[in-house]
């Protein structure tokens, strides 16, 4: 049962991220009539900015998310003002080429700043994780996944009830052997 609930939370998290990406693509295309191929790269930048704000600046998860939203919002404004706005009277193909160029630039920028290889920033990730008691077992569920499902799906469960769920465990960090299981 514990594994089922963990996978249910994982599925809700991934599904809510997919729905946000689809909603963003739909809104951008519906308003600007530009298929923004860099949309996924903006989500990637948000993830990297959040991780950097937590691991390098030591910000708590909630504040790191706010910083990430501001940075990605400013990137969106810069993209619109510096790239898409000057192309408003150009043929539609130019918008598509510009969007692909932004995508390639953001991917290269992320590789330059954060590197292209795998990294293990488990300490920053586990700082926002708590134990979540299921029956008599204490399994680790990242706190941000619960918030992601809560905020993206607009569940009627108040924040205080989510935090109360985490208060029943001791909040100990998982051992290295447990990192691969969760």
More confident residue, 120 or 99: 99
More confident residue, 142 or 177: 142
| pLDDT at residue number 60 | 92
DSSP letters spanning the chain: -HHHHHHHHHHHHHHHHHHHHHHHHHHHHHHH----TTHHHHHHHHHHHHHHHHHTS---HHHHHHHHHHHHHHHHHHHIIIIITTTTTS-HHHHHHHHHHHHHHHHHHHHHHH-SS----HHHHHHTEEEEEETTEEEEEEHHHHHHHHHHTT-S--HHHHHHHHTTS--PPPPHHHHTT-
| pLDDT at residue number 37 | 87
Residue 153, pLDDT > 50, answer no
| pLDDT at residue number 146 | 53
pLDDT in tens, 40-72: 899 999 999 999 999 899 899 999 999 999 999
| pLDDT at residue number 126 | 54
Residue 104, pLDDT > 90, answer yes
Residue 155, pLDDT > 80, answer no
pTM: 0.63
Residue 34, pLDDT > 70, answer yes
Residue 161, pLDDT > 50, answer no
pLDDT above 90 coverage of the chain, percent: 38
Residue 88, pLDDT > 70, answer yes
- At 143, is the pLDDT very low, low, confident or very high (cuts 50, 70, 90)? low
- At 159, is the pLDDT very low, low, confident or very high (cuts 50, 70, 90)? very low
- At 127, is the pLDDT very low, low, confident or very high (cuts 50, 70, 90)? low
pLDDT above 70 coverage of the chain, percent: 64
């Amino acid at each position: 049962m514990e594994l089922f609930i963990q996978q249910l939370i994982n599925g809700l998290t991934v599904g809510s991220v997919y729905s946000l990406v689809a909603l963003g693509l739909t809104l951008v295309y519906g308003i600007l009539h530009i298929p923004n191929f860099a949309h996924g790269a903006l989500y990637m930048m948000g993830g990297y900015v959040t991780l950097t704000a937590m691991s390098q600046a030591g910000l708590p998860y909630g504040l790191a998310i706010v910083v990430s939203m501001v940075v990605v919002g400013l990137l969106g404004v810069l993209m619109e003002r510096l790239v898409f706005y000057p192309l408003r009277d150009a043929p539609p193909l130019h918008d598509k080429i510009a969007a692909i160029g932004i995508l390639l630039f953001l991917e290269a920028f992320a590789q330059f700043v954060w590197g292209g290889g795998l990294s293990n920033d488990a300490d920053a990730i586990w700082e926002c994780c708590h134990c979540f008691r299921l029956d008599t077992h204490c399994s680790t569920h990242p706190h941000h996944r619960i918030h992601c499902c809560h905020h993206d799906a607009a569940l009627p469960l108040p924040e205080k009830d989510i935090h109360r769920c985490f208060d029943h465990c001791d909040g100990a960090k998982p051992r290295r052997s447990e990192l691969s299981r969760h």
